[in-house]
Structure 1
Amino acid sequence: MPRLTDARKELRRTQIAEAAVRCFSRNGLERTSIADITAESGLSVGSIYAHYRNKAELVRAAAREMLSRRAGTIGEYAAADVPPGPDELLSRLTAAIDPAEARVGVQTWSEATTDPAVRDIIVDATDRMRTMLHDCVTAWLVKVEHHEPDRARELAAPIAHRVMALYQAELLYTALRTTDEETAS
């Protein structure tokens, strides 16, 4: 059998992680088995284990992937010629929340309270996201509100903190909505 290229391996890992997120969203982290992920991905058990040692590693990969996507979006906002203000930034972030990912995100926060590896991922990603929000708000304060850069950085810290807190609250709210509520909105 031919060996997979690095690019192909990464695509396969992403395919497996996305299948895991769908399963985690439907069944919860604890009730999802490798068999569920195998069925969802359409791959063999051997293929799953060739890319991930166990379910815990898949949980960590799924968390890292979801948080990385969100961080990338915020980075794009900060780099814009006219960065969005705090209200618009929050509005864009909340509009982009995927309900399935929100459910898995909240479950992952819970897992972070008992799994040091997941906690490290969550703390790192949250810190990076808060830093990017700070950078975005700073850019808005400088480019749109015309503050001096040092003053803008100072003013941005509490604003970014509030945007992050409101975004996390919206993630929780979205995660707690039932499927019926999702389809009704």
Structure 2
Amino acid sequence: MPRLTDARKELRRAQITEAAVRCFSRNGLERTSIADITAESGLSNGSIYAHYRSKADLVQASAHAVLAKRAETLGDYAASDTPPDPDELLARLISAIDPAEARVGVQTWGEATTNPAIRGIVVDTIDRMRAMVHDCVMAHLVKVEHLDPAEAQEQVIPIAERLMALYLAELLRTSLQSSTEETES
């Protein structure tokens, strides 16, 4: 049997992660089994376990995949000559929320209250997202508002904290709204 190239391995991991997100969104973290993810991905159990040791690894990979999407977007915003102002940044982040990913995120938060491994994933993901929002707001304050970096540093933390709180609240709202819409269908 031919060996998988690194690029092919990454594609396979992404295929598995995307299948896991769909299953977690539909069935919940607790009720999703590796067999469910296997069926959803169209791969074998062996292929799943060749890439991930456990469901917790899949939860972590799912969280990091979602974060990677936001990181690319936020990095582009921060690198821009005219990064968006905080209101526009929040609007863009909210418009990019995927309802399935929001449901998985909220389920992961719930699981984090009792599972230390999942708690670590959630804390790390939110901390990394907060740092990216901080960098984007800082770039706006310096490049667009023309504040001295020291002055911008004084202002950036409360702004970034508010943006994160509003973004996380919107994730919760989206997850509840999309869940309600599906049960009414």
Residue aligned with 2:46, SS: helix
C-alpha displacement of 1:179: 5.2
Aligned counterparts of 1:116 and 1:153: Cα–Cα separation in 2: 33
Q: Does 1:72 align with 2:72?
A: yes
Matched-pair contact (CA < 8 Å) for 1:82–1:144: yes
Alignment correspondent of 1:174: 174
Which whole-Å CA distance do the structure 1 matches of 2:23 and 2:125 have between them? 22
1:45 aligns with 2:45: yes
2:2 is matched with: 2
Query: Runs ≥4 in structure 1, deviation > 4 angstroms?
Result: none
Verify: 1:124 aligned to 2:124, yes or no.
yes
Q: Which amino acid aligns with 1:165?
A: A
Percent sequence identity is 73
Superimposed CA distance per residue, residues 117-145 of structure 1 (whole angstroms, 9 cap, x where no aligned partner): 22222222211211221111111111221
**Counterparts of 1:59 and 1:128 in 2: how far apart (Å)?**
16
- Range with greater deviation from structure 2 (34-43 or 93-102): 34-43
Q: In the alignment, what sits opposite 2:87?
A: 87
Aligned to 1:21: 21
* Contact 2:63 2:121 survives alignment (8 Å): yes
Q: Secondary structure at the match of 1:82?
A: coil
User: CA shift at 1:99, angstroms?
Assistant: 0.2
The one-letter code of the counterpart of 1:166 is L
- Structure 1 residues without counterparts, runs of 5 or longer: none
Gaps of 5+ in 2: none
1:114 aligns with 2:114: yes
The separation in 1 between residues aligned to 2:97 and 2:40, in whole angstroms, is 22
The range that moved more, 84-93 or 119-128, is 119-128
Write the letter of the residue equivalent to 2:63.
A
CA distance in 1, matches of 2:176, 2:31: 18
Cα RMSD after superposing both structures: 1.6
Residue 99 of structure 1 corresponds to which residue in structure 2?
99
How high is the TM-score relative to the length of structure 1? Answer: 0.93
CA distance in 2, matches of 1:161, 1:3: 46
- The two structures have a TM-score, normalised by structure 2, of 0.93
Given residue 82 of structure 1, which amino acid in structure 2 is its aligned partner? T
* Matched residue count: 183
Q: Is the 8 A contact 2:63 2:125 kept in 1?
A: no
Task: Give 1:180 deviation, angstroms.
Answer: 6.5
Amino acid paired to 1:69: K
**Aligned 8 A contact 1:74 1:129 in 2:** no
